[in-house]
Every structure is written in structure tokens, then in C-alpha cells.
Amino acid sequence: MTEATTHSLRITRTFQAPRGTVFKAFTDPDILKQWWGPQGFTTPAVAVDLRVGGEFRYSIRREDTGELMHFHGRYLEVDPPQKLSYTRIADPGDGGHVWKDVGMADLETRVTLDFIDHGQATEVVMVHSLFPTEQAKQMHERGWASTFDCLDNYYQLSHDH
């Protein structure tokens, strides 16, 4: 039996907000809508059932074209405020043609987020794994980096931390 080669991505970022606040930013639909997604995207719809086995669904919209991209998954580990792990699937509809191009449409990947307490700052260690190709990994590396920039901007503009 041959095991498929998979690629994984690890990004570590520190945010200037307490750990519980950062954890909530990744799990509260009202907060997610304010910052989630790469630069140039908005997040008009988020549904979260925050429990092991619970599902989430969200949509991001490209600001320049209005094209929608949809994602869903299932929570594997929910341990507030220190750990969050979930499956993630990109839906092929609407703007999902991008995912077809890199072999990601309807493919289940895994995201694990560790939230490390540094007092008024929080280090987030994100591992996103099970990418089918190096190209898919690199595309997500750019997307995650930009998404984390958006969270950083959210905290810089927000007085709620």
C-alpha cells in the first residue's frame, strides 16, 4: 500500500491581545465576520457549532469581483482557550474553481491552532496539513499569512482587547 505524499504548513504569529480574546476571535461568528479571510476579502456568513463533532461553515467574498468561496468542517478538539483543531473542506461551487485548480475542491485538510499565553499577548501556532501538492500548500501559506495580517489589523483598530 502506497501512502500519498502530503504537505503541511506551520505558521507562528503573536497577537497583542490576551489568549481568551484571541481564541474567541477564531470561534465567535460575530468577531470572525469582522476580520476573517485574506486581505481583499470579506466574510459575510459564518456558522459555528463549537463542540467536538460540531460543524462550522463560512463564506468569504472577493471584494473586487464579488465572487464567493465556501468552506466547512468539523471540530476535532475544542479546548478553550488553548487549543482548537478541525477539519476543513473547500466547497467547489462559486469561486471554488480556484480549489479545483490545485486539487483542493472537496478535499479534507486539518487545521490545529495552539494559543500560547504571554500575558497581554498570545502566540498562535497554526499547523494546516494534508495538502495534496506543494502548490496547494504555498497558496494556503499566502492566504493564512494575509488572514493573520487581517487579525493583527483588527486588534490594532479594536479597543476591545
Q: What is the pLDDT of residue 150?
A: 96
Domain of 34, CATH number, reads 3.30.530.20
Over range 50-70, report the average pLDDT. Answer: 95
Q: Above 90 in pLDDT, residue 151? A: yes
Over range 81-110, report the average pLDDT. Answer: 87
Burial class, 35, CB count within 10 angstroms (exposed 0-12 / middle 13-18 / buried 19+): buried
6's CB contacts (< 8 A; 6+ apart) are 129, 130, 131, 132
Report d(CA 78, CA 73) in Å as an integer. Answer: 13
Q: What is the pLDDT of residue 9?
A: 96
- Asked if the structure places residue 16 within a domain, the reply is yes
- Asked if the structure places residue 55 within a domain, the reply is yes
Domain count, the chain: 1
In the numeric block, which cell numbers belong to residue 114? Answer: 495552539
- Which domain covers residue 35, as residue numbers? 7-157
Report d(CA 129, CA 119) in Å as an integer. Answer: 29
- Asked if the structure places residue 78 within a domain, the reply is yes
HEC profile of the chain: CCCCCCEEEEEEEEECCCHHHHHHHCCCHHHHHHHCCCCCEEEEEEEECCCCCCEEEEEEEECCCCCEEEEEEEEEEEECCCEEEEEEEECCCHHHHHHHHCCCECCEEEEEEEEEEECCEEEEEEEEEEECCHHHHHHHHHHHHHHHHHHHHHHHHCCCC
Which residue shows C-alpha cell 506543494? 134
Work out the pLDDT band at 5, boundaries 50, 70, 90: low
- Asked if the structure places residue 2 within a domain, the reply is no
Work out the pLDDT band at 83, boundaries 50, 70, 90: very high
7 vs 103, higher pLDDT: 7
CA 134 from centroid of its chain's CA atoms: 18
Percent of the chain's residues with pLDDT above 70: 94
In the numeric block, which cell numbers belong to residue 81? Answer: 482557550
Q: What is the pLDDT of residue 102?
A: 79
Q: What is the pLDDT of residue 1?
A: 37
Q: Above 50 in pLDDT, residue 2? A: no
- Asked if the structure places residue 64 within a domain, the reply is yes
Work out the pLDDT band at 159, boundaries 50, 70, 90: low
